[in-house]
Amino acid sequence: MKTFLPIVLTAMLTSLHAAPPPIKVEVTVNDQIRFSTKKLDAKVGVPMEITVKHVGKIPKASMSHNLVILKPGSMVAMVSAKCGQAKDNNYIATDAETKTAIVAYAPQLGPGEMHVIKFTPKEAGEYPFLCTFPGHFGEMNGVITVK
Ligand SMILES: [Cu+2]
């Protein structure tokens, strides 16, 4: 019994130590209707923290931006169209198909606002991301490559 506790503690500390640190990146959005990058890299099982920051000045009432991450193989144009009509829910559609497609997202942001998206990819693949404010998908889209 006396040797049991140290073994358990050692095992716990080892597993804590083994947890990979999160991959932290920043993506800005602006009045030119652009993400600062269209390509991000991530790793299976490694937590990802994406800080989404609005660096523009156009008032939120006229225009805002979000960042919505979808599962690999999602119908991006369909999600964009459905979310674009969901003004009452911050441009996030709530139908079953859209809910299934969305992995994580930052809500609509106005000038000076920011949000940290935290998610851990469970499988490798190309995760599309987009802004779902109406008309923004054409310019505001990208891919997170998870290996
Ligand atoms: Cu936008």
Which range of residues forms the domain containing residue 54?
20-146
- Closest by CA to 90, choosing from 68, 112, 111, is 68
CATH number of the domain at 27, please: 2.60.40.420
Joined tokens for residue 97: 């198909």
Give 54 Cα–ligand 1 centroid separation in angstroms: 10
Q: Is residue 31 part of a domain?
A: yes
Q: Is residue 4 part of a domain?
A: no
Higher pLDDT, 114 or 4: 114
Give 137 Cα–ligand 1 centroid separation in angstroms: 7
Q: Is residue 14 part of a domain?
A: no
Model confidence band, residue 52 (pLDDT cutoffs 50, 70, 90): very high
Q: Is residue 136 part of a domain?
A: yes
Give 84 Cα–ligand 1 centroid separation in angstroms: 11
Q: Is 30 exposed, middle or buried (0-12, 13-18, 19+ CB in 10 A)?
A: middle
Q: Is residue 8 part of a domain?
A: no
Q: Is residue 11 part of a domain?
A: no
- Answer yes or no: are the C-beta atoms of 9 and 18 closer than 8 Å: no
User: What whole-number distance in Å separates Cα of residue 49 and Cα of residue 117?
Assistant: 6
Residue range 80-99, pLDDT digits in tens: 999 999 999 999 999 999 99
Higher pLDDT, 27 or 4: 27
Average pLDDT, rounded, for the chain: 92
Residue range 124-137, pLDDT digits in tens: 999 999 999 999 99
Q: Is residue 109 part of a domain?
A: yes
Number of domains in the chain: 1
Give 123 Cα–ligand 1 centroid separation in angstroms: 27
Q: Is residue 112 part of a domain?
A: yes
Name the pTM for this structure.
0.88
Parallel, antiparallel or unpaired: strands 48-54 and 23-29: parallel
Residue range 134-144, pLDDT digits in tens: 999 999 999 99
